[in-house]
Structure 1
Amino acid sequence: MSGTHAAVVLAAGGSRRLGRAKQLLTRGGETLAHRAARLCAETSPRRLLVVVGAYREDVAQAVAGIGCELVVNDEWERGLGSSLRTAAAALVAHEGPTLIVACDQPALESAHLRRLLDGAAATGLGCAATLHDGAPGIPAVLPPSWREHAGQLQGDQGMGRKLRELRADAVWTLDAPELGFDIDNDADLRVAIERGLLDDVSL
């Protein structure tokens, strides 16, 4: 049965520091873009959006068959904020919470997403976030009001600041240190391969 939430996979970045499309790196032969979309699909969202920008044709091919909606962020070079604004605009008619997921956290598992959705449902605000060095971030479950704030985001601003402004008891938090590791550069890529989180590639 479908849940009341929508899900958004952020997969529009240009991976400038890495020099290759991180969305297309693989774990167990599965691209990170496909993996993130698949894990979100397993939560049975009402709508599943994948925000694409750089490498859009390759990413679109990577997530083919998932049953997701591709949303193009033509301003992807302006940073994360532009992708969140794009997603917010596409979900203007959605009245439920939204699960936000990035595709560059290779340790992400379906259990993380289930715990976030369950945690959000237990709060009055319907909000949950993952702790990163003590601060809330993504993956996160946000109430409908997040879309209003998204319109004000600039550059690489995400929803972290807004989450920090909420009362501590209004946000259920997931303590999962493994999700603090993401792929930004070659050093991160090497570590991920050593940990078995990514398939070996030629650096």
Structure 2
Amino acid sequence: MKEFGIVMLAAGASTRMGQSKQLLPVKGEPLLLRSVNAAILSGAQKIVVVLGANEKAHRDLIRDLKVEIVFNERWETGMGSSIKTGLRALLDLNPSLEGIVVLVCDQPLLTADHIRQLVTKHTETSKPIVASGYAATSGVPVFFHKVYFGKLMKLKDEQGAKKVIQQNSGDVTLQPFPQGEIDLDTPEDYERFKRSK
């Protein structure tokens, strides 16, 4: 894989958490910063972080890092709108990208290694979609070859990457990521995660 980019989705309002989960401390650093650092270490050519709710606090946290920050004015309409905003910005920066990895910022055990494994799996299998496998499902982080950029741009605002994975199962292979089952959506999730460390 010559060139791949990353779209990190970090626009949500963390309604169920009751506070910005992007700012929750995980192993001594805010979750958003931890996720962005994993993306940077993955070797991606370009990284776009899509912000929405609490934009200023989140922007201040990552403004000095080697990422492009974009604001999704339609963040409240759903994940699909953030994917489209991020992909559009990524292709403006580098139209020759061979593929992208879509990440969310609330998986505290995300690593640069796993991101690289998705891209390597694509190279080894030639499958245009490499999803993460966990908890008997497939989801994010997920690699999409450029042949899928058009379908991603046609997502409805309320749809996520999982919709494209499900509709094109013949083009999908999985990279195991059991840690992907852990995401931080509620205070209970966060307390459970802290106890498990």
Aligned counterparts of 2:67 and 2:186: Cα–Cα separation in 1? 28
| TM-score, normalisation: structure 2 | 0.90
| Shift in Å, 1:33 | 1.0
Aligned counterparts of 1:74 and 1:94: Cα–Cα separation in 2? 26
Q: Give 2:192's aligned residue.
A: 191
8 Å contact from structure 1 (residues 3, 43) kept in 2 = no
What are the Cα deviations for residues 54-102 of structure 1, in whole angstroms up to 9, with x where unaligned?
1111111111332100011011111111101101221332431101111
Q: Give 1:91's aligned residue.
A: 90
| TM-score, normalisation: structure 1 | 0.87
Deviates more, 1:13-22 or 1:147-156: 147-156
For 1:23, the aligned partner's letter is: Q
| Shift in Å, 1:164 | 2.4
For 1:68, the aligned partner's letter is: V
Q: Give 2:52's aligned residue.
A: 53
Q: Secondary structure at the match of 2:125?
A: coil
Aligned counterparts of 1:33 and 1:94: Cα–Cα separation in 2? 27
What are the Cα deviations for residues 31-51 of structure 1, in whole angstroms up to 9, with x where unaligned?
111111111111221111110
Question: What is the percentage of aligned positions where both structures have the same residue?
Answer: 27
Q: 1:111 to 1:95 in 2, by over 3 A?
A: closer
Aligned counterparts of 2:149 and 2:55: Cα–Cα separation in 1? 23
Q: Give 1:180's aligned residue.
A: 181
Which residues of 2 match residues 18-37 of structure 1 at below 5 A?
A: 18-37=17-36
Q: 1:111 to 1:44 in 2, by over 3 A?
A: closer
1:148 aligns with 2:150: yes
Aligned counterparts of 1:94 and 1:72: Cα–Cα separation in 2? 23
Q: Give 2:77's aligned residue.
A: 78
Q: Secondary structure at the match of 1:131?
A: strand
8 Å contact from structure 2 (residues 152, 164) kept in 1 = no
Provide structure 2 residue ranges, at least 5 long, that are not aligned to the other structure.
Answer: none
Aligned counterparts of 2:60 and 2:41: Cα–Cα separation in 1? 19
Q: Secondary structure at the match of 1:139?
A: strand
Aligned counterparts of 1:7 and 1:95: Cα–Cα separation in 2? 10
Count of aligned pairs: 194
Q: 1:77 to 1:40 in 2, by over 3 A?
A: same
Q: 1:3 to 1:29 in 2, by over 3 A?
A: farther
Aligned counterparts of 1:111 and 1:128: Cα–Cα separation in 2? 14
Aligned counterparts of 1:87 and 1:94: Cα–Cα separation in 2? 15
Say which structure is richer in helix: 2
Aligned counterparts of 1:80 and 1:134: Cα–Cα separation in 2? 22
8 Å contact from structure 1 (residues 130, 174) kept in 2 = yes
What are the Cα deviations for residues 141-192 of structure 1, in whole angstroms up to 9, with x where unaligned?
1111333222332344212122123354x33312222211211111111111
Aligned counterparts of 2:145 and 2:139: Cα–Cα separation in 1? 14
- RMSD value over aligned CA atoms? 1.9
| Shift in Å, 1:135 | 2.9
